[in-house]
Chains A and B, each alone.
Chain A
Amino acid sequence: MEFEGCSCFRQRLVLSTLSVKRVKIPNIRSKDDNLGLRDFEVSFIRLLDKHECNVQRSIGYYLEALLMLAPFVKTPLRAALKGVTNDPTDPSVDLLKVTAIPLMKKFGIDGDGLEIKVLKRGMAPAGGGEVLFTCPVRRSMKPVQLTEPGKIKRIRGTAFSVRVSPQMANRIVDSARSILNKFIPDIYIYTDHMKGASSGKSPGFGLTLVAETVNGTFLGAEVMSTPQGQGDPVLPEDLGRNCAKLLLEEIYRGGCVDSTNQSLALLYMTLGQQDVSKSLLGPLSPYTPRRLCLAQGDRCPIGEGCNRVSPSS
């Protein structure tokens, strides 16, 4: 199969790996000054066989692909990824930990082995973080019926700060709570201040919020401080408020799978057994349809069973 350009680069490689089909991607950034693959993409290709993540993108970029592949590999995966744990472009490790892991559990990938652990936190641009991801192997995915998101019963979150005043985290928490308290009283936001060797190389702070519903759906949102020397600094109060609003926006969008993990859920549904899986998604994020395009459009590279996606808003 042949594709053009570097969009959906990860998706293409992951799907080609899963379906044992060759892909050819010519004309990558053909109009750009800097032709060809960037360092992070090269790093990604290396990751598919061997684990150092380039600091141009955060670990989330690599971890997302690993989440897609890990349940299907031959032996249980244990990957220690080093690089940037949180940055504003990619979903952070914390967000994946609180949203993707419960989603995977719904698909029958559970047990002790499934874990994302932040050993060291490294902010953009210099990184220096370390994440341990372990995942067991499953023979087959369980079909899921995610059609009822349920009511939100609690909101949890983590406000973290590294190499800045520990007070930052508390300020974030206060501002976030000021908005969220109007909706639900059951809110707990942990403050996570890392010191010394586990604090990475750059300063920064951020907030990850997750809303859990009575049916076990997790909707997440996060905001990171701007990396050092790359734009205007943010006030922790603003950050907290923004993040809370983002979470509300995410709740407004609804669905049983939050917008970050839509493509992951769809992939698992496609790779399941021949059973009908249903899931209710919010409005599709721009990334998801591209996934659908890849998975179904081009002559179904994977035996996608008789799964079906029922969209709704």
Chain B
Amino acid sequence: MEKKEQKRHQHKHSGPKAQKKNRKKEQGTEQVQDERKRNPRAFSVQSAVRMAKTFHRTQDIKTKKHHIPLVDRTPLEPPPVVVVVIGPPKVGKSTLIRCLIKNYTRQKLSDICGPVTIVSGKKRRLTLIECNNDINSMIDLAKVADLVLMLIDASFGFEMETFEFLNICQVHGFPRVMGVLTHLDTFKNNKTLSKTKKRLKHRFWTEVYQGAKLFYLSGMVYGEYQTQEVKNLGRFISVMKFRPLVWRTSHPYVVADRMEDLTDPEAIRLNPKCDRTVSLYGYLRGTFLKNKCQVHIPGVGDFSVADVSFLPDPCPLPEVIKKRALNVKERLLYAPLAGVGGLVYDKDAVYIDMPSGHARRQQVRFQSPTTELVQSLIGTQATLDAKMAAILLNNPDYILVMYARMAPVPEHPEVTAMIDNENKCWLFFWSHFILRSNSRALRWKEDLAQKASEAYLRHQLAAPNLRKLVYGTEEEEDSNDEEELGGLFKVSRPERSKKVRADAMDCSRFHPDSSHDWDQEEVRCTSIRDCFVTGKWEEDKDAATLLKENDELYGDFEDLETGEVHKGGNDDEINGGGDDDDEEEEAPQVKLDDDEVQKNKRLEKKRRLKERFDAQYDDGDATYFDDLKDEMQKQAELNRQEFEDVDDEVRVQYEGFRPGMYVRVEIPALPCEFVTNFDPHYPIVLGGLGPSEGNVGYLQMRLKKHRWHSRILKTRDPLILSLGWRRFQTIPLYYIEDHNGRHRLLKYTPEHMHCGATIWGPITPQGTGFLAVQTVGGIKANFRIAATGVVLDLDKSVTIVKKLKLIGYPYKIFKNTCFIQGMFNTVLEVAKFEGASIRTVSGIKGQIKKALRTPLGAFRATFEDRLLMSDIVFLRSWYPVLVPQLYNPVTSLLMPVGQKDTWAGMRTLGHLKHDLGIRNKPNQDSLYKPVVRQVRHFNTLHIPKELQKALPFKNKPKQMQAKGKTPQDLQRPAVVREPHEKKVAALLDALSSVYAYKNKKAKAEQHAKHKEFLKQKEKQDAERQKRLKEERKKTYRAMGQKEKKKLKSSLKGASKDN
């Protein structure tokens, strides 16, 4: 068989069809538009309503994405990102931190102890903190964490602490949370592994958000996680973005990474329990910190700061950003609590931490030419302060004093001598180094001093009077710079004028001494003539200049159109510098070169042109939102520029310490336990407080029992709240608002509903979230977070009331009036309640009228109905409840090391009863007793006669007995008539029947007759009606005609009139 060769299809290469195809191929992307053209019906409006709906929906979605624009306050050099690593014990937290540190800095840190700060990239630093399993630490760290690495043991699954932590986070503003699954190598079966991963992932998503990142660390290699996986995790961390949280952006806070006890050793020797002065160090985060402000240290309490100063950054970002990756020198690691970063600079000292192993290296360092000075210091008997003063006098240069903190080193003779002298295990070792300009730190200081003095002088020149006016007399010129800076904000009122001023008239009216004689022409002309629109304008705003400029601008415009590339380049420049204020440009600054002036002029011109162009073309689209955003951006720019050139020392005085600075906060009068029981594993957070947040007052809050907490909460049971920075125990009263606005006390929180709570606690701004736990001590199997909520109001005037029923008994009853006793005890009490409405249990309402003389407390009352003696009368009243004033900060950080999670405050009533073995006496009525049933007797049913009559027979009580045999004696004898009697009876019968028949006949006749008569009458009536109708019709017609005639004639008359 021969297969027929089929002709293949020939593609057209020319002609209309080919052209069409080619066109299609070319315009492949523009298919959509084509479709619309080709099939317009499919895209036509089918339903206007639906279209409106879809439009509405898209607009909704668009607007939902908008946030209220805020002024951007992020500092230029942000503080390190706080990364908290959390998880149950033995999940691999420390290992992960160690691996991350190794990944970023190539250094090994054996003991993770306190926060570890590392430089992770060119623009980012991280502070890694490990969170232990204590709920106190969890709460504190949730408040400061930017990123949470949540470690989950995959072989076990989620533990209660994980959920608790997530709930804590939710309340205090959710930081970024990233899950990390560990112990994945325990799964031998691949399928179970993937299934577990999936299950855990989905559970994690429901808790955090759909699609939250969950990392898998598959296994360990030599006790560490796999390098590649850690590297990936590190990359994720370095690129992560963080959202600003309201509480944190409005409060300054410091996660302390170093602590020094500054207390006088002598004072400690005299009284080991004396209050300590402690300086805490750390990066300032959040917002600006004022110098003398109040801080709260969670776990310790509220303290006012004695002094804040900023130190050079111990872990700085690379100064110049290069294209390459960071080199080893730039990958810094700073963890003083873990003993890394041995050399630390303080405000006026340098600490060297010297473990015994490094002692030899230190020894070499001491062989400097200044050793003799050190030795002289050690040798002499004068006080160290005096010595320092002497040295300072001798060396007018800046002096850095160095404290060396060291372990006992037997091979170092001087130190051993000191040890012998002082008999202490470690000591302060004074020495000094005269560091000249070769030291970086010193150079910075020198610059600072110079800048400060310059700034000061500038200020002096600019406003000589203002400062004098505001801050009284100025400081002496010859005192040194530092003091002057300090004195800048010291109030020193001049003593002599003080008395005069003290009682001055409090009046803002101001009578200027009119030295000008406004009648004179030249005074007018010279002084204020130009202040009016009619006067002379500045050169650049003069009408003539503007006109000329306009011409130039439009001329330029044409030029720009032709040379487009040139314009684009300049536009960027304009964008960059365009935000400057007018006056700044106008202000006569430094003398510029001619070129520069020209350039500025050109730039200015272009800016104006751009503004005009924008006004003409862009503003049509700009919404209110865009305008607002622009405004905020301008403000942010302004804020930045204002202090850009100001020296840090001065700037700090004006705006406070800015976030990102490494600060040293000195706090006096800390309890000694803070130092003696110091455990670096517990985080120390210094939370700055707002102006009135240090006070304690009444707070109204909305509260809901957590749905995972097993029990409802009882009013007046102490509860530990975490609110703002604080953790404290307080006694809440729960209430619910009735429909009439009354706050009614609740005995227990509702099971699944919000309720109100009032506490006595620290003043915290409205809208701040809080969470409540019943105990912070110990580890419990069940979910510890008892309730969550939000602060609603800070109002003392809100009163909670509880229902109080006063009960009385009637002792004399008239018709509707009663005398009632037992409700009150005195006449006065009754007088207070006169007119109050009362009620009986049966529902009869009444009113209190007047007190009776005897018995005391009895009164007359009237009711709407007569009472019975057995009625109980009650008065429903509302009694205001006082909120107990318990505010007990949780001082868990003061507990001894190892027992920090055992803080126990006031116990709940249930706890107390349980501990003391007290049992409630049960209500006798609630006890179970054997049931005794009495036989009941009922009265016979009595039906009234009238009712009996009305009843149908079957319902009538059957009183007649069934007819039995009549007894013999009751039987009557039969009557037998005589024949005559029979005849008489028969006749009478006949007569009566005749009479009856006659009567009947007559009646029938009469009836028929009457019927006839009625018929007749009806007929007549009908006829009469007909007639009448006819007649009426006639009359009406006549009347109508008459009326018509009248109307016509009147119309005619009217027309004639016209």
Q: Which residues of A contact B (CB under 8 A)?
A: 4-11, 19-20, 27-32, 61, 64, 89-91, 143, 145, 147-148, 151-153, 179, 182-185, 214, 244-246, 248-254, 259-260, 263, 273-276, 284-287, 289, 292-293, 296-300, 302-303, 305-306, 308-309, 311
Find out whether the CB atom of B503 lies under 8 angstroms from the CB atom of A303.
Answer: no
Q: Which residues of the other chain, A, contact B466 by a CB distance below 8 angstroms? A: 284, 289, 309, 311
Q: Which residues of B contact A (CB under 8 A)?
A: 71, 73, 287-288, 290, 292, 462-463, 466, 469-471, 489, 491, 493, 498, 501-510, 512, 514, 516, 518-519, 524, 527-535, 537, 581-583, 635, 638-639, 642-643, 654-656, 690-692, 695
- Can you list 6 A-B pairs with a CB-CB distance of less than 8 A? A19-B692, A91-B508, A214-B533, A285-B510, A296-B470, A306-B656
Find out whether the CB atom of A306 lies under 8 angstroms from the CB atom of B581.
Answer: no
Distance of A10 Cα from B504 Cα, bound (Å): 12
Other contacts beyond A275-B635, A306-B643: 11, CB < 8 A: A6-B506, A19-B692, A147-B583, A151-B537, A248-B528, A252-B516, A276-B638, A276-B639, A303-B690, A308-B654, A309-B466
Find out whether the CB atom of B290 lies under 8 angstroms from the CB atom of A303.
Answer: yes
Q: Which residues of the other chain, A, contact B292 by a CB distance below 8 angstroms? A: 299
Find out whether the CB atom of B502 lies under 8 angstroms from the CB atom of A311.
Answer: no
Contact among B73, B510, B639 for A260, CB-based, below 8 A = B510
Q: Which residues of the other chain, A, contact B532 by a CB distance below 8 angstroms? A: 151-153, 183-184
Of chain A, the residue at the smallest CB distance from B70 is: A273
Find out whether the CB atom of B489 lies under 8 angstroms from the CB atom of A296.
Answer: yes
Distance of A203 Cα from B569 Cα, bound (Å): 71
For the complex formed, measure the closest distance between the CB of A43 and the CB atoms of chain B, giving whole angstroms: 13
Distance of A173 Cα from B866 Cα, bound (Å): 82
For the complex formed, measure the closest distance between the CB of A274 and the CB atoms of chain B, giving whole angstroms: 7
For the complex formed, measure the closest distance between the CB of A282 and the CB atoms of chain B, giving whole angstroms: 10
Q: Which residues of the other chain, A, contact B529 by a CB distance below 8 angstroms? A: 183
Find out whether the CB atom of A287 lies under 8 angstroms from the CB atom of B470.
Answer: no
Distance of A14 Cα from B655 Cα, bound (Å): 23
Find out whether the CB atom of B691 lies under 8 angstroms from the CB atom of A286.
Answer: no
For the complex formed, measure the closest distance between the CB of A174 and the CB atoms of chain B, giving whole angstroms: 16
Distance of A185 Cα from B533 Cα, bound (Å): 10
Q: Which residues of the other chain, B, contact A185 by a CB distance below 8 angstroms? A: 534
**Chain B: interface secondary structure?**
loop
Find out whether the CB atom of A9 lies under 8 angstroms from the CB atom of B470.
Answer: no
Find out whether the CB atom of A89 lies under 8 angstroms from the CB atom of B524.
Answer: no
Q: Which residues of the other chain, A, contact B531 by a CB distance below 8 angstroms? A: 151-152, 251-252, 254
Of chain B, the residue at the smallest CB distance from A306 is: B655
Distance of A9 Cα from B498 Cα, bound (Å): 15
Contact among B516, B581, B695 for A145, CB-based, below 8 A = B581
Contact among A151, A254, A285 for B508, CB-based, below 8 A = A285
Q: Which residues of the other chain, B, contact A143 by a CB distance below 8 angstroms? A: 635
Distance of A302 Cα from B507 Cα, bound (Å): 23
Find out whether the CB atom of A252 lies under 8 angstroms from the CB atom of B489.
Answer: no
Find out whether the CB atom of A293 lies under 8 angstroms from the CB atom of B509.
Answer: no
Find out whether the CB atom of A252 lies under 8 angstroms from the CB atom of B533.
Answer: no
Q: Which residues of the other chain, B, contact A244 by a CB distance below 8 angstroms? A: 518
Find out whether the CB atom of B639 lies under 8 angstroms from the CB atom of A275.
Answer: yes
Find out whether the CB atom of A183 lies under 8 angstroms from the CB atom of B469.
Answer: no
Find out whether the CB atom of B514 lies under 8 angstroms from the CB atom of A249.
Answer: yes
Known: A287-B508, A296-B489. A152 touches B533 (CB 8 A): yes
Chain B CB count within 10 A is highest, among A145, A263, A274, for A274
Of chain B, the residue at the smallest CB distance from A295 is: B470
Q: Which residues of the other chain, A, contact B691 by a CB distance below 8 angstroms? A: 19-20, 302-303
Contact among B501, B512, B537 for A5, CB-based, below 8 A = B501
For the complex formed, measure the closest distance between the CB of B160 and the CB atoms of chain A, giving whole angstroms: 40
Distance of A298 Cα from B471 Cα, bound (Å): 10
Find out whether the CB atom of B528 lies under 8 angstroms from the CB atom of A306.
Answer: no
Q: Which residues of the other chain, B, contact A145 by a CB distance below 8 angstroms? A: 581, 638
Known: A183-B532, A252-B516. A297 touches B489 (CB 8 A): yes
Q: Which 5 A-B pairs have the closest CB atoms?
A: A5-B502, A306-B655, A297-B491, A289-B469, A285-B510
Chain A CB count within 10 A is highest, among B501, B505, B508, B656, for B508
Distance of A248 Cα from B695 Cα, bound (Å): 50
Find out whether the CB atom of A248 lies under 8 angstroms from the CB atom of B516.
Answer: yes
Contact among A297, A302, A303 for B471, CB-based, below 8 A = A297
Find out whether the CB atom of A300 lies under 8 angstroms from the CB atom of B290.
Answer: yes
Q: Which residues of the other chain, A, contact B534 by a CB distance below 8 angstroms? A: 183-185
Of chain B, the residue at the smallest CB distance from A179 is: B518
Find out whether the CB atom of A246 lies under 8 angstroms from the CB atom of B514.
Answer: yes
Q: Which residues of the other chain, B, contact A249 by a CB distance below 8 angstroms? A: 512, 514, 516, 518
Find out whether the CB atom of A7 lies under 8 angstroms from the CB atom of B508.
Answer: no
Known: A153-B533, A179-B518, A296-B489. A7 touches B504 (CB 8 A): yes
For the complex formed, measure the closest distance between the CB of B248 and the CB atoms of chain A, giving whole angstroms: 14
Q: Which residues of the other chain, A, contact B516 by a CB distance below 8 angstroms? A: 248-249, 252
Q: Which residues of the other chain, A, contact B507 by a CB distance below 8 angstroms? A: 61, 89-90, 287
Find out whether the CB atom of A260 lies under 8 angstroms from the CB atom of B509.
Answer: yes
Q: Which residues of the other chain, B, contact A9 by a CB distance below 8 angstroms? A: 506
Known: A254-B531, A287-B508, A306-B655. A274 touches B489 (CB 8 A): no
Find out whether the CB atom of B639 lies under 8 angstroms from the CB atom of A7.
Answer: no
Q: Which residues of the other chain, B, contact A289 by a CB distance below 8 angstroms? A: 466, 469-470
Of chain A, the residue at the smallest CB distance from B466 is: A311
For the complex formed, measure the closest distance between the CB of B647 and the CB atoms of chain A, giving whole angstroms: 15
For the complex formed, measure the closest distance between the CB of A205 and the CB atoms of chain B, giving whole angstroms: 18
Find out whether the CB atom of A292 lies under 8 angstroms from the CB atom of B528.
Answer: no
Distance of A29 Cα from B469 Cα, bound (Å): 23
Q: Which residues of the other chain, B, contact A31 by a CB distance below 8 angstroms? A: 503
Distance of A306 Cα from B287 Cα, bound (Å): 12
Q: Which residues of the other chain, B, contact A147 by a CB distance below 8 angstroms? A: 581, 583
Of chain A, the residue at the smallest CB distance from B690 is: A303
Q: Which residues of the other chain, B, contact A275 by a CB distance below 8 angstroms? A: 71, 635, 638-639
Find out whether the CB atom of B512 lies under 8 angstroms from the CB atom of A246.
Answer: yes
Find out whether the CB atom of B514 lies under 8 angstroms from the CB atom of A293.
Answer: no
Chain A CB count within 10 A is highest, among B463, B518, B638, B691, for B518
Find out whether the CB atom of B503 lies under 8 angstroms from the CB atom of A248.
Answer: no
Q: Which residues of the other chain, A, contact B527 by a CB distance below 8 angstroms? A: 252
Find out whether the CB atom of A89 lies under 8 angstroms from the CB atom of B509.
Answer: yes
Contact among B498, B503, B530, B535 for A28, CB-based, below 8 A = B503
Q: Which residues of the other chain, A, contact B692 by a CB distance below 8 angstroms? A: 19-20
Q: Which residues of the other chain, B, contact A293 by a CB distance below 8 angstroms? A: 470-471, 491, 493
Q: Which residues of the other chain, B, contact A286 by a CB distance below 8 angstroms? A: 510
Known: A245-B514, A285-B508. A184 touches B470 (CB 8 A): no
Distance of A128 Cα from B695 Cα, bound (Å): 43
Distance of A292 Cα from B638 Cα, bound (Å): 23
Distance of A289 Cα from B466 Cα, bound (Å): 8
Find out whether the CB atom of B537 lies under 8 angstroms from the CB atom of A274.
Answer: no
Find out whether the CB atom of A32 lies under 8 angstroms from the CB atom of B503.
Answer: yes
Distance of A251 Cα from B530 Cα, bound (Å): 11
Of chain B, the residue at the smallest CB distance from A25 is: B502
Find out whether the CB atom of A284 lies under 8 angstroms from the CB atom of B503.
Answer: no
Q: Which residues of the other chain, B, contact A309 by a CB distance below 8 angstroms? A: 466
For the complex formed, measure the closest distance between the CB of A296 and the CB atoms of chain B, giving whole angstroms: 7
Distance of A184 Cα from B321 Cα, bound (Å): 59
Distance of A287 Cα from B583 Cα, bound (Å): 28
Distance of A62 Cα from B501 Cα, bound (Å): 21
Distance of A6 Cα from B505 Cα, bound (Å): 8
Of chain B, the residue at the smallest CB distance from A148 is: B583
For the complex formed, measure the closest distance between the CB of A60 and the CB atoms of chain B, giving whole angstroms: 8
Known: A184-B532, A254-B531, A306-B656. A276 touches B642 (CB 8 A): yes
Known: A145-B581, A184-B533, A252-B527. A274 touches B73 (CB 8 A): yes
Find out whether the CB atom of A10 lies under 8 angstroms from the CB atom of B463.
Answer: no
Q: Which residues of the other chain, B, contact A300 by a CB distance below 8 angstroms? A: 290
Chain A CB count within 10 A is highest, among B466, B532, B656, B692, for B532
Q: Which residues of the other chain, B, contact A248 by a CB distance below 8 angstroms? A: 516, 518, 524, 528
Q: Which residues of the other chain, A, contact B656 by a CB distance below 8 angstroms? A: 306
Q: Which residues of the other chain, A, contact B71 by a CB distance below 8 angstroms? A: 273-275
Of chain A, the residue at the smallest CB distance from B493 is: A293
Q: Which residues of the other chain, B, contact A151 by a CB distance below 8 angstroms? A: 530-533, 535, 537
Q: Which residues of the other chain, A, contact B582 by a CB distance below 8 angstroms? A: 148
